[in-house]
Amino acid sequence: MSDLGALLWPRRVALIGASADGESLRGRIFNVMRGHAFGGELYPVSRSHREVLGLKAYPSVADLPRPVDLAVIIIPAKHVAEELERCGNAGVKSAVVLSSGFAESVGAEGSQMQAEVRAIAKRYGMAVMGPNSEGFANVAANLCPTFSPAMEAGGRALLPVGRPRPQLAVCAQSGGMGFAFFDHGRAKELAFRYVVTTGNEACLEALDFADFILEEGKTDALLLLLEDIKTAETFRGVAEKALRAGKPIIVNKIGQSDAGVRAAASHTAALAGAYAAYQAMFQRYGIIEGRDIGEMVDIAAGFLAWRTRLPRGRRVGICTASGGGGGWMADACTAAGLEVPELDIETRQRIDVHLPSYGTSQNPVDATAQAAAKIGYAGLAQLVLPSPMIDALAVVMTARSPHNIERQREALAHLAEVAQKPVLLWSYTLPAQRSVAILSEAGLPVYTDIGNCTRTLRLMADYRDLRERFLRPIEVGSACAGAAAAVREALAEAAASLCEWEARPLLARYGIGTSAVGTLSATADEAVSALASIGGPVALKVQSPDILHKTEAGAVALGLTTREDVRAAYTHVLANARRHAPKARILGVLVQPMAERGREIILGVKRDQTFGPLLMVGLGGVAVEVMKDVALAPVPLRADEARAMLARLKGVRLLDAHRGAPAGDVEALVDLMVRLGKFASDHADVIAEIDLNPVLVHARGKGVSVVDALIVKGTNSPPLIASGGG
């Protein structure tokens, strides 16, 4: 592993390509770096100048008086490899390459130069950021090797003044966006520790820096901007580390379109796109997806303030001096999936003492402007907060006047210190910068966007819940332990695809469905006698590892009750199958009893190129195909994760009791999902897809039926994500 410490915390830095021309990018870097009180040494390297803005310059990195830890390189792309080689020779431990014109260019030349950079970095064990990076800022060290205008000195300080507060870091592939987070967060008086922009990621990815930052342990929340994840293993490590430590990651994944969805053999495949896989991974680890820069910064602000006191539930108290504002907040809470319950009578009595006749303590607590002015926002919050009916508090207020906030400063800081539940402030007027500063120092984030405020409350509750589940020991044991070896052997011997007849025995070893459902018949007579022994209506299904979609091929007949029907159907489905796939190897025709009625579910596993096998569940045949109502998760998965997947389905309530129909056996479905997840993860290296379609969920206590099954092998083995639980 290369030395990220040398890169982010160098004592001596060389700026290769230093220039005094403030209009050029080179000159701008120099100005930005010199504008902040970096405690280490800075050596300009320039071929043409002996001095740059009063600092002695050196013709080459080889000529420096002392070895440097970090080289900041901003010279034309075609010279970068050569220079990096020179740095390696000179014992430079790390480099930031800000030059453009590498793999992001049209043509092969740029990519080739980028490969050279990678090779050199590897050869010398150098930690290299970029190329095409916009550099980074180590705010804590006052080190800003970047030309980002957001980091220019002058005006506001890089860190909020006053009491030190929890720190935030940004890791972004995109330079412009990376520093934009800083720009937004600084206006909210947040303390950034690092802003890292990784550009083309020839060597180090954004997640490598995230890992370093988590290991260092001084940062309490991470903002990530990702275009792609190059190493799933790094992602998994970072995600798990962050969740264990309770340090939320707030991410935006650029490129959410379906363009990257590849065609695949089963129905599962067509529904799972690349972005959906990212979302599944984010959901597993409680990584929060943001949609807007300001929103992501707002979410981080809430977590930074309340990280050790996240809400235990979704019940919100609201206090306000504006009736309209309270109503708006109640609506916004409800829209965010939060509850706004009536307060308990003791709390109400405590509040009512302070209210005029036109106030109300119900929730929202409308104290009226008069009472609010008298007891102050903090006083009001202290009255409401102890209610056992609420898990968090939203204070509707106006932070427009800094004098008004200044006056309440002590009380607000005290509130932030002693509150056992989160308090978020929503200012319906725009707060003065001074108000923001006071509130930030007090430890109370102030929101101007009501949706960001309520979403943060919701996310904090969800994060706490998911984290507590994640940290619990795995619920499912090794019920399938002995089965793996036998299945592995059978899979090795099988052809490229396994039809239902072949797949069932393997799945049954893991308790997925039953081994033998029906009779494989080789003649119409055999089919007819199977009907007799089953005794009820039957289904006929041609079994062939070469026909994956039997219904489309006409190779299925359902609900047959008479000998004549079975005989006719036998001939018919076989003929259809042969017409559909003349060369198909046909094992016979499976005669099965018709499954008992139940809610139709589609369950499958598909291998994602980056993250490995993902389990997919969807409700109802039509719903899944027309409405794309599916949920994904990496395997293996725990029962609580399976339940959470079901809860994400828009149509989840279709499993509830409904108009006389009893509730579905959700626990049996959850068990099936867990078993399928285990199966898929045990054999991830050889299985590309599994398709259980449909699965029927019967009434509670009656279990589930796997009506059809298909396994498609695939030897192209992507990195497998191991269990996140435990």
Residues 181 to 210 in contact with a copy of itself, rule: CB under 8 A? 183-184, 187
Q: Tell me how far apart the alpha carbons of residues 644 and 634 are, in angstroms, rounded to a whole number.
A: 13
Q: What strands, in cross-sheet order, belong to the sheet with 519-521?
A: 519-521, 588-593, 538-543, 556-560
Q: How far is the CB of 611 from a copy of itself (least distance, A)?
A: 20
DSSP state of 69: S
- Binding of a copy of itself at residue 332 (CB under 8 A)? yes
DSSP state of 355: -
Nearer to a copy of itself, 402 or 703 (CB): 402
Place of tokens 């979704």: 314
- Binding of a copy of itself at residue 408 (CB under 8 A)? no
- Binding of a copy of itself at residue 357 (CB under 8 A)? yes
Q: Which position among 295, 500, 608, 689 is part of the footprint of a copy of itself (CB under 8 A)?
A: 295
- Binding of a copy of itself at residue 308 (CB under 8 A)? no
Of residues 616 through 635, those in contact with a copy of itself by CB under 8 A are 622-623, 625-627
Of residues 358 through 397, those in contact with a copy of itself by CB under 8 A are 358, 368-369
5 Cβ neighbours under 8 A, 6+ residues apart: 212
- Binding of a copy of itself at residue 651 (CB under 8 A)? yes
Nearer to a copy of itself, 126 or 450 (CB): 450
Q: Which range in 86-94, 356-364, 382-390, 581-589 contacts a copy of itself by CB under 8 A?
A: 356-364
Q: How far is the CB of 292 from a copy of itself (least distance, A)?
A: 5
Q: DSSP for 459-495? A: HHHHHHHHHHHHHSPPS---TTTTHHHHHHHHHHHS-
Q: Tell me how far apart the alpha carbons of residues 507 and 490 are, in angstroms, rounded to a whole number.
A: 11
Q: What is the pattern of x (binds a copy of itself, CB under 8 A) and - over residues 86-105? A: --------------xx--xx
Q: Which range in 51-59, 162-170, 288-296, 473-481 contacts a copy of itself by CB under 8 A?
A: 288-296
Q: How far is the CB of 612 from a copy of itself (least distance, A)?
A: 25
* Residue 641 neighbours by CB distance under 10 Å: 26
Nearer to a copy of itself, 551 or 717 (CB): 551
Q: Which position among 37, 106, 161, 418 is part of the footprint of a copy of itself (CB under 8 A)?
A: 106
Alpha helices in 314-471 (DSSP H): 323-335, 345-352, 368-384, 402-407, 409-418, 433-442, 450-471
* Residue 92 neighbours by CB distance under 10 Å: 27
Nearer to a copy of itself, 116 or 183 (CB): 183
- Binding of a copy of itself at residue 428 (CB under 8 A)? yes
Q: Tell me how far apart the alpha carbons of residues 248 and 251 are, in angstroms, rounded to a whole number.
A: 10
Q: Give the residue from 620, 590, 582, 587 showing the smallest Cα distance to 603.
A: 620
Please report how many Cα atoms fall inside a 13 Å half-sphere around the Cα of residue 454, on the Cβ side.
Answer: 21
Tabulate helix, strand, coil % of the chain (nearest 5): 40, 20, 40
Q: How far is the CB of 418 from a copy of itself (least distance, A)?
A: 28
Q: Tell me how far apart the alpha carbons of residues 520 and 542 are, in angstroms, rounded to a whole number.
A: 9
Q: Tell me how far apart the alpha carbons of residues 460 and 421 are, in angstroms, rounded to a whole number.
A: 11
Q: Which position among 89, 231, 334, 349 is part of the footprint of a copy of itself (CB under 8 A)?
A: 334
Of residues 225 through 284, those in contact with a copy of itself by CB under 8 A are 225, 227, 252, 254-257
Q: How far is the CB of 245 from a copy of itself (least distance, A)?
A: 27
Nearer to a copy of itself, 31 or 529 (CB): 31
Nearer to a copy of itself, 430 or 558 (CB): 430
Q: Which position among 19, 46, 114, 322 is part of the footprint of a copy of itself (CB under 8 A)?
A: 322
Nearer to a copy of itself, 125 or 149 (CB): 149
- Binding of a copy of itself at residue 294 (CB under 8 A)? yes
Q: How far is the CB of 400 from a copy of itself (least distance, A)?
A: 6
- Binding of a copy of itself at residue 156 (CB under 8 A)? no
Q: Tell me how far apart the alpha carbons of residues 54 and 61 are, in angstroms, rounded to a whole number.
A: 19
Structure tokens at 548: 């994956």
Nearer to a copy of itself, 386 or 621 (CB): 621
- Binding of a copy of itself at residue 31 (CB under 8 A)? no
Dihedral sign computed on CA atoms, order 373, 377, 382, 386: positive
- Binding of a copy of itself at residue 398 (CB under 8 A)? yes
Contact status, residue 150 vs residue 162, Cβ threshold 8 Å:
no
> Would you mind telling me the total number of residues written for the chain in this entry?
726
